[in-house]
Amino acid sequence: MTFTYVVPDIHGRVDLLRNAIAGIVTHAAGRAGTIVMLGDYVSKGPDSRKVIDQLRRLALPEGWSFFPLKGNHDAMMVEALSDPAKMPGWLARGGDTTMASYDGNSSSVPVTDIEWLDKLPLIHIDRYRIYVHAGLDPEVALDRQTEKILLWKRYNDEFHTGFGERHVVHGHDSFPDGPKLYEGRTNLDARGWKTGRLVIGIFEDQTPGGPIDFIEVIAEPSRSA
């Protein structure tokens, strides 16, 4: 029996990230597993730079697999630092805290950090599930999904199905009382950066469908807006 652990939007909360990895390794109890990160590592929380640093240098026990995906805020950061015209929009959506973590100066952001974010994959697929930051259009073939859909989609609350025969696991659309569980999809984003409560989904690799359990990481709520 092996497990995939799915970590939703971190948004600059390095404390939640560290505790999440520790909680996952403890739960695994010496068995190798898979960690999928659903993106949005930056913006809103205070420690975006530290989050990126931790993820780029993450050392897991032997045999583990690690798949960090891209979120819309990660893409916004890359775009803003490449095109000054897009900087104000990103700053207004939480990018200001990211810049503060880099001493408030875009020239202090290492090129390697930008390149790492830019090259992150948009989806991860295994036998029974598709992992993505925001969602998929069920009417569009998997290889024709656009970056806009994968990073920005918001599901109607009445939409309970997944994508074909696969369960969809996503974040992006945050609910403080999350996660939100449906027959064909799971939304793990419980607005952890704000509430201090990060919910990690545990999925059994040999069993289709939604999570079999959760790991809840609790930290201090954010005092920022």
**Nearest partner of 35 among 2, 71, 68, 74, judged by Cα:** 68
* Strand partners of residue 124: 131
Find out whether 187 and 158 touch, Cβ atoms under 8 Å.
Answer: no
Q: Which of 113, 130, 123, 49 is nearest to 78 (CA)?
A: 113
Q: Per the domain annotation, does 113 fall within a domain?
A: yes
- Does residue 224 lie in a domain region? no
Between β-strands 65-68 and 123-125, what pairing exists: parallel, antiparallel or unpaired? unpaired
Residue 223 lies in a domain: no
Strands (E), the chain: 3-7, 34-37, 65-68, 123-125, 129-132, 167-170, 180-181, 185-187, 197-204, 213-218
In a domain, 225, yes or no: no
Domain of 66: which CATH number?
3.60.21.10
180 occurs within a structural domain: yes
pTM above 0.85, yes or no: yes
Pair of tokens at residue 148: 């806009």
Sign of dihedral through CA atoms 131, 73, 188, 54?
Answer: positive
- 120, two tokens: 């992150």
Q: Is residue 50 part of a domain?
A: yes
Distance CA 103, CA 48 (A): 11
Domain total of the chain: 1
Each residue's pLDDT expressed in tens, for the chain with a length of 225 residues: 899 999 999 999 999 999 999 999 999 999 999 999 999 999 999 999 999 999 999 999 999 999 999 999 999 999 999 999 999 999 999 999 999 999 998 999 999 999 999 999 999 999 999 999 999 999 999 999 999 999 999 999 889 999 999 999 999 999 999 999 999 999 999 999 999 999 999 999 999 999 999 999 998 888 654
Domain containing 187: what range? 3-218
3-state helix, strand, coil in the chain (%, to 5): 35, 20, 45
